[in-house]
Amino acid sequence: MKMIITKTERPIPIIILHLDGTLDGANYKKLIEKGQMLFANGARNLILDLAKLTFISSAGLGALHQVAMLFQGKIHSEPDETWAGYRWATYRNIKRDHDLRPQEHVKLLSPTREVREVLDLIGFSSLFEIFTFMPQAVESFRQPEMAMGPGAR
C-alpha cells in the first residue's frame, strides 16, 4: 500500500493521508506507524482518503480504529482482530458517546464500494464521518470556539 501525505490549513490545519492499494495484515502496522508519526509531529485532524483503497481486511479495520483512538488522545492496545471484536468495539464506542456523534478528528473520504460495504457491515460507518467530496470533508472540521468578549454577539 502506498501512502501520500498532503495538507491544508483551511479552515484549520488538516493532514490528508491518501491510501492506495490494499490495507491488510501485511501492511496495517504501516498505517498505525504513520498515524503515530503524524500525531507526534503535531497533527490533530486527519482525513483518510480511501478512493484508491481496493481492499480492507480485519487488520486494516483495526488500524483505522487505532489511528482514530490515537487522534482522540486515547491509548489503544493491540486490536482484537476478529469481526466480532470490531463489532463489539464499535458498539462500546457508540454506547459511550451519548449523543452518538462520530469521532471528530479522523474523517474518511471516498471509500470504494467494496471498502464502504465492509465499513457498513462492521458498523464503522457510524464511528466515522464519511464524505464523497474533499471540500465537504475539509469544511466538516470545526474551528475552536472563540472566546466571547464584551459586546460579542
pLDDT in tens, 77-103: 444 455 455 555 554 554 454 344 567
Calpha distance 78→63 (Å, rounded): 9
Mean pLDDT in residue range 15-19: 98
Is 67 a domain residue?
A: yes
CB 130 within 8 A of CB 116: yes
CB 6 within 8 A of CB 134: no
Domain that holds residue 56: 2-139
pLDDT in tens, 111-141: 999 999 999 998 888 889 999 999 999 999 8
Is 114 a domain residue?
A: yes
Is 145 a domain residue?
A: no
Distances (CA, A) of 37 to 16, 30, 44, 53, 95: 14, 10, 11, 21, 30
Residue matched to cell numbers 483551511: 10
Is 153 a domain residue?
A: no
Global confidence as pTM: 0.80
Is 93 a domain residue?
A: yes
Q: What is the CATH number of the domain that holds 24?
A: 3.30.750.24
Provide the domain count of the chain.
Answer: 1
Share of the chain above pLDDT 70, in %: 75
Is 146 a domain residue?
A: no
